[in-house]
Amino acid sequence: MIKVAILGSTGSIGTQALEVIAANPDIFKVQVLTAHANHRLLRQQIERFRPEMAVLTDEQAAYELLKQGVPPEVRFCRGVAGLELAASMDETDVVLNALVGFAGLAPSVACINAGRTLAIANKETLVAAGALVMELARKKQVAVVPVDSEHSAIAQCLAGEQPSAISRLLLTASGGPLRGKKTSDFAGVTLQQCLKHPNWEMGRKITIDSATLMNKGLEVIEARWLFDIDYERIDVVVHPQSIVHSMVEFCDGSVKAQMGLPDMKLPIQYALNHAERLPVAYTRMDFRQALSLTFEPPDTDAFRALPLAYAAGKQGGTYPCVMNAANEVAVQAFLDGRIRFVDLVPIVEAALTAHSGAASPELAEYIEADAWARLTAEEYVNRVGSK
């Protein structure tokens, strides 16, 4: 029985993970559930899965849940500190970090320090502090397993291969809801347009990142740390059908691709089950039907977040952390209607330009850089929003 802690159980990844667990009750058991503010859904999950521990980080939401009552056998914690307890709980085998944003870093570190396998869907952990996290994982001999469909695909393609044989990693991108648009089109782009992803059902923040291609930039940085490969050998290819989830090119010119319908339950299941495959009843591809797969280069002139992420990644140190924090602030401001779509990337770029980074930061320096970037980006948001 694999005991699983799910950090962010009420989000898109968390709820799909619970579907996987519910479909395989003889293999998985829910050990921990955490959420930010969705106390109603968390309570339903607690009633169904009866975890050992549950956490709500929002104080008011925690108060509302306690008013309704928590089963006495479930240990309940509230506040952000509860996340680190949840990530390091005894008897847990796998911690699925499905939190959104920089808030996922400290629980990831706690998970690794506790010697638990980390199934990472919180890409910001590796974007912000990849060097620190992966070095800690090596020291603790802890596996960091990808959950993102692209990185899961690469891991599957690399199974049984020698690292020395890898030529390139090819991350596929759908192109997002604004694929095909040019810079001149962006002034009129609305929030509603950005939230209509053509292939995937995702949270609001990641869907906006998909619209700017920042999400793909974050995934490039994540891939650099997960697979220990330099940026010059990580390419992004736009593949609108989202059938090929990513590819690996080898030194002899051959290319492996991992394919499947757009369904996050498959990479989640693969990660939770230690890369062992399980028979499933999900909808499958039918190659007897006509199928067209197309590939094209990303438009880096229009979608400047992607080259910006490459540049921040190559600068290293705290620069990716600053980029991530500034982007989180800018995206939230866009979701709140305080800035326009065209303001998103310039705000991130301005924060990076103003930053003077530490070369080999410790955890405290990452936290300090994150806080600085948020304040700086908020200043730019206020300046842009007042125009």
Query: Residue 201: is its pLDDT beyond 90?
Result: no
Question: Confidence band (pLDDT; 50, 70, 90) for 280?
Answer: confident
Q: How confident is the model at residue 387 (pLDDT cuts 50, 70, 90)?
A: low
- Among 206, 216, 138, smallest CA distance to 175 is for 216
Say if strands 94-97 and 75-78 run parallel, antiparallel, or are unpaired: unpaired
Rounded mean pLDDT of 55-80? 93
Distance CA 286, CA 284 (A): 6
Identify the CATH number of the domain defined by range 316-387. 1.10.1740.10
Q: 171 φ, ψ to 5°?
A: -85, 125
pLDDT in the model for residue 386 = 58
The fraction of the chain above a pLDDT of 90, given in percent, is: 85
Kindly report, residue by residue over 282-321, the tens digit of the pLDDT.
788 888 888 899 999 999 999 999 999 999 999 999 999 9
pTM, entire model: 0.93
Contact present, 244 and 257 (Cβ < 8 Å) = yes
Domain ranges of the chain: 2-146, 149-263+297-314, 316-387
Predicted local distance difference test score (pLDDT) of residue 308: 98
pLDDT of residue 359: 80
Chain-centroid distance, C-alpha 231: 19
C-alpha dist (Å) from residue 333 to 217, 302, 351, 376? 20, 21, 15, 13
Report the pLDDT value the prediction gives residue 286, as an integer from 0 to 100: 87
Which CATH class name applies to 2-146?
alpha beta
2-146 and 316-387 have identical folds: no
Residues 300, 213: Cα–Cα separation, whole Å: 9
In this prediction, residues 217-223 reach a mean pLDDT of 97
* Residue 120 pLDDT greater than 80, yes or no: yes
DSSP annotation of 4 reads E
Instruction: Indicate the SS3 state at residue 29.
Output: strand
pLDDT tens column, 163-187: 999 999 999 999 989 999 999 999 9
How much of the chain, in percent, has pLDDT values that exceed 70? 99
With beta carbons less than 8 A apart as the criterion, state whether 309 and 342 touch: no
pLDDT of 203 over the 90 cut: no
> How crowded is residue 214: how many other Cβ atoms within 10 Å of its Cβ?
27
Mean pLDDT of 135-145: 97
> Per-residue pLDDT averaged across 122-129, rounded?
94
